[in-house]
Amino acid sequence: MGRGRKPNNAKVVELLGPVSHRPERPEAPSSASGTLTANAEFDTDAKVAWSFWTLHMATAGMSFPIDSIALQAACFAYSRAMRAERELKEAGNPNRWRADISAARNWKQVQAFCNEFGLTLVSRNKVVTANPQMQLDLEMEAAINS
């Protein structure tokens, strides 16, 4: 029995074209971008994260109302991480080790959310935006930084 990948039959190659001519990325999402609504229970840190992320997502054409709950969770994780960082800086804090663990856990959550939303340098390379000019800007930024 031979090893390796099973070759495509001629009909599949005819329909899709050769591998080198296939599009690299899917088309941009067609759903209309809209206004995201912030949570009324946000504290100051969460509001700062919300304002920053929604501004940049709207500029890139990536703000969809369906994402608002997950983005709110990212803002809450950011707020918890900042609170833990402040607790770490307090002099004489007897629960310093708890704050350290909490900060690390919450920063991991923030990083995971940022990856999902295309807010990190690596994940931005995989994002297709509805705004063609923004897509070019993202590709140029990736080329310059690599």
Name which of 37-41, 43-47, 103-107, 137-141 the model is least confident about: 137-141
Residue 82 pLDDT grade (very low, low, confident, very high; cuts 50, 70, 90): very high
HSE toward the beta carbon, residue 95, CA cutoff 13 A: 9
Distance between CA atoms of residues 5 and 81, nearest Å = 46
Q: Report DSSP state, residue 19.
A: G
Residue 83: how many other CB atoms lie within 10 Å? 16
- pLDDT score, position 138: 63
Q: Is the pLDDT of residue 22 over 60?
A: no
pLDDT in the model for residue 77: 93
78 confidence band (pLDDT: 50, 70, 90): very high
pLDDT at 36 over 80: no
